[in-house]
């Protein structure tokens, strides 16, 4: 397929040319972004914030016993039933867990929103799949700031030579790739049919590590 045939679309076929797969087993720890990388909507894998962020923020401002509070919470719970693991992430991280790997989910999702939604209302079991879950704390900046990744590194390796540990993280967005690189980590981009042309180009400019899905590494 030529680019002329898809020039009116933001999505183009995945074309891997020079990028390579990471040697997962050579790292001391494996991290990953959440939204669109590990989990997402079954209907639109990269669209999750519109459901998780706005309604949950609204709940913080509404009287818990009111009808509108219950209606919004029901909407969130219903929407979460459409969420699942994507890109073969569950099998991959289960494999890492069974081999004793240190793993962490590093997300821009604020802490209270994560626990209000994904932790309490969803049966994904992220807390069982990952050794640690790092969420955005008050005062921290979203990616591409490396703050959450740096905190994840320190939490995983709090003593001694943590800075010398080799860490690989997976991201599906240029901002996340930049955050991982700024935290002195190797970053593998997830590039597949859900990746926009702009994001594909940006991520390939930033990193040479690339996969379409996690099963490639198993």
One CATH from 3.40.50.1000, 3.20.20.70, 3.90.1300.10, 1.10.1060.10 for 19-217: 3.40.50.1000
pLDDT of residue 45: 44
pLDDT of residue 147: 96
pLDDT of residue 211: 97
pLDDT of residue 144: 97
pLDDT of residue 74: 73
pLDDT of residue 63: 74
* Burial bucket for residue 111 (CB in 10 Å: 0-12, 13-18, 19+): middle
pLDDT of residue 158: 86
**Within the chain, how many helices (H) and strands (E) appear?**
9, 8
Residue ranges for the chain with pLDDT beneath 50 = 1-12, 14, 16, 45-47
Please say whether the beta carbons of 162 and 28 come within 8 A. no
The pTM of this model reads 0.79
Domain extents for the chain?
A: 19-217
Sign of CA dihedral 44, 12, 172, 128: positive
């Amino acid at each position: 397929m030529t680019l002329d045939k898809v020039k009116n679309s933001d999505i183009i076929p995945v074309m891997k040319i020079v990028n390579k797969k990471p040697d997962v087993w050579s790292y001391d720890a494996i991290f990953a972004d959440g939204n669109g990388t590990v989990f997402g909507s079954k209907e639109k894998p990269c669209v999750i914030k519109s459901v998780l962020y706005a309604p949950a923020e609204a709940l913080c401002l509404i009287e818990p016993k009111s009808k509108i509070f219950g209606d919004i919470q029901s909407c969130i719970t219903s929407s979460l039933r459409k969420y699942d693991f994507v890109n073969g992430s569950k099998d991959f991280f289960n494999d890492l867990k069974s081999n004793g790997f240190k793993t962490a989910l590093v997300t821009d999702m604020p802490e209270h929103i994560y626990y209000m939604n994904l932790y309490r209302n969803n049966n994904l079991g992220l807390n069982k799949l990952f050794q640690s879950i790092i969420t955005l704390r008050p005062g921290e900046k979203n990616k591409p700031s490396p703050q959450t990744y740096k905190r994840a590194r320190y939490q995983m390796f709090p003593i001694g030579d943590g800075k010398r540990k080799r860490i690989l993280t997976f991201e599906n967005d240029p901002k996340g790739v930049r955050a991982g690189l700024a935290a002195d980590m190797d970053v593998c981009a997830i590039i597949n049919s859900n990746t926009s042309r702009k994001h594909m180009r940006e991520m390939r400019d930033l990193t040479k590590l690339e996969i379409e899905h996690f099963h490639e590494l198993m």
